[in-house]
Amino acid sequence: MKLEEIKKIAVIGSGAMGSQIAEVLSRLGEYEVHMVDTSDELVGKGLQSIEEGLERFFVSKGKMTTAAKQAIMERIRGDTSLEKAVSDVNLVIEAVPEILTLKKEVFKKLDEGAPQAILASNTSTLNITEIASVMKRPERVIGMHFFNPVAVMKLVEVVRGAHTSEETVAVVLALARKLGKEPVVCRDTSYGFLANRAYEALRREAVEMVWERVASPEDIDKALKLGYNLPLGPLELGDMLGSWGRRAEMEEDGIRELGDERGRLHPLIRMMVRAGYLGGAGKKGLYDFWKEVLSKW
pLDDT tens track, the chain, 297 positions: 899 999 999 999 999 999 999 999 999 999 999 999 999 999 999 999 999 999 999 999 999 999 999 999 999 999 999 999 999 999 999 999 999 999 999 999 999 999 999 999 999 999 999 999 999 999 999 999 999 999 999 999 999 999 999 999 999 999 999 999 999 999 999 999 999 999 999 999 999 999 999 999 999 999 999 999 999 999 999 999 999 998 888 888 888 888 777 888 999 999 999 999 999 999 999 999 999 999 888
- Among candidate residues 124, 127, 165, 243, the one labeled active-site is 124
Domain count, the chain: 2
Q: 94-117 burial, b if ≥16 CB within 10 A, otherwise e? A: bbbebeeeebbebbeebbebbeeb
CA distance to 21, 125, 170, 281, per residue, from 153 (Å): 12, 18, 21, 21
- Among candidate residues 163, 196, 216, 218, the one labeled active-site is 196
Residues 170 and 68 in one domain: yes
Residues 134 and 68 in one domain: yes
Task: Specify the pLDDT at position 248.
Answer: 87
Would residue 196 show up in a list of annotated catalytic residues for this protein?
Answer: yes
Task: Specify the pLDDT at position 173.
Answer: 98
Q: Strand 118-121 vs strand 91-94: parallel, antiparallel, or unpaired?
A: parallel
Residues 166 and 202 in one domain: no
Residues 60 and 162 in one domain: yes
Residues 150 and 235 in one domain: no
- Among candidate residues 157, 200, 236, 257, the one labeled active-site is 157
Task: Specify the pLDDT at position 71.
Answer: 98
Structural domain boundaries enclosing 166 = 3-187
Would residue 34 show up in a list of annotated catalytic residues for this protein?
Answer: no
Would residue 145 show up in a list of annotated catalytic residues for this protein?
Answer: yes
Residues 215 and 172 in one domain: no
Distance (Å, whole) CA 59 – CA 104 = 39
Task: Specify the pLDDT at position 254.
Answer: 84
Q: What is the pTM of this model?
A: 0.92
- Among candidate residues 19, 90, 145, 243, the one labeled active-site is 145
Residue 99 lies in a domain: yes
Would residue 157 show up in a list of annotated catalytic residues for this protein?
Answer: yes
Residues 98 and 228 in one domain: no
Which CATH number fits the domain that encloses residue 101? Answer: 3.40.50.720
